Amino acid sequence: MQYWLVKQEPEAYSWDDLVKDGRTAWAGVRNFTARNNLRAMKKGDLVLFYHSVTDKHVAGIAKVVKESYPDPTAEEGDWSAVDIAPVKSLKNPITLDQIKADKTLQDMKLVRQTRLSVSPVTKSQFDQILKLGRTT
């Protein structure tokens, strides 16, 4: 199993939207590194859902329910999408400041490559987020 983090502005699509919808296509990604990360996702992989720009926190855990397929929103180019579904909300959302302050999380792509919308997370980083969120 692999672990990932996806970022989205909550005004565009929030964790609560995903919970309400039960599933969504993670589409519209237009960065080659993020696209390649989408293509590497496998069914059952766990995903941290991060609110970017305004709230700046990990809100919940999702899982990949459909592996990479051509992005239906792409009018041109070779872009991909996956489908994700909610698994669990974090009891305590973990803020970007908390992540930056935690020595075990300082190497997360979220901190190092701030504009990357889909990034891998190590198992130890994933477990630490769950611990901080009192979700384990």
59-101 per-position pLDDT tens digit: 999 999 999 999 999 999 999 999 999 999 999 999 999 999 9
Concatenating the DSSP letter of every residue in 51-94 gives E-TTS-EEEEEEEEEEEEEE-TT-SSS--EEEEEEEEEEEEEEE
Look at residue 135 and tell me whether its pLDDT is greater than 80: no
**Selection from 9, 8, 3, 1 nearest residue 26 by Cα:** 8
Strands 46-51 and 3-8, by their bridges, are parallel
Q: Which of 36-45, 108-117, 118-127 has the lowest mean pLDDT?
A: 108-117
pLDDT of residue 112: 86
Higher pLDDT, 114 or 25: 25
Here the tokens at position 55 are 């709230």
**pLDDT at position 136 over 70:** no
Helix, strand and coil in the chain, % to nearest 5 = 30, 35, 35
Only one residue has tokens 């990949």, namely 64
Euclidean distance between the first and the last CA atom of the chain, given in angstroms as a whole number: 17
Rounded to an integer, what distance in angstroms lies between the CA atom of residue 5 and that of residue 94? 13
- At residue 44, the 3 state secondary structure works out as coil
- pLDDT tens digits for range 6-62: 999 999 999 999 999 999 999 999 999 999 999 999 999 999 999 998 889 999 999
Global pTM reads 0.95
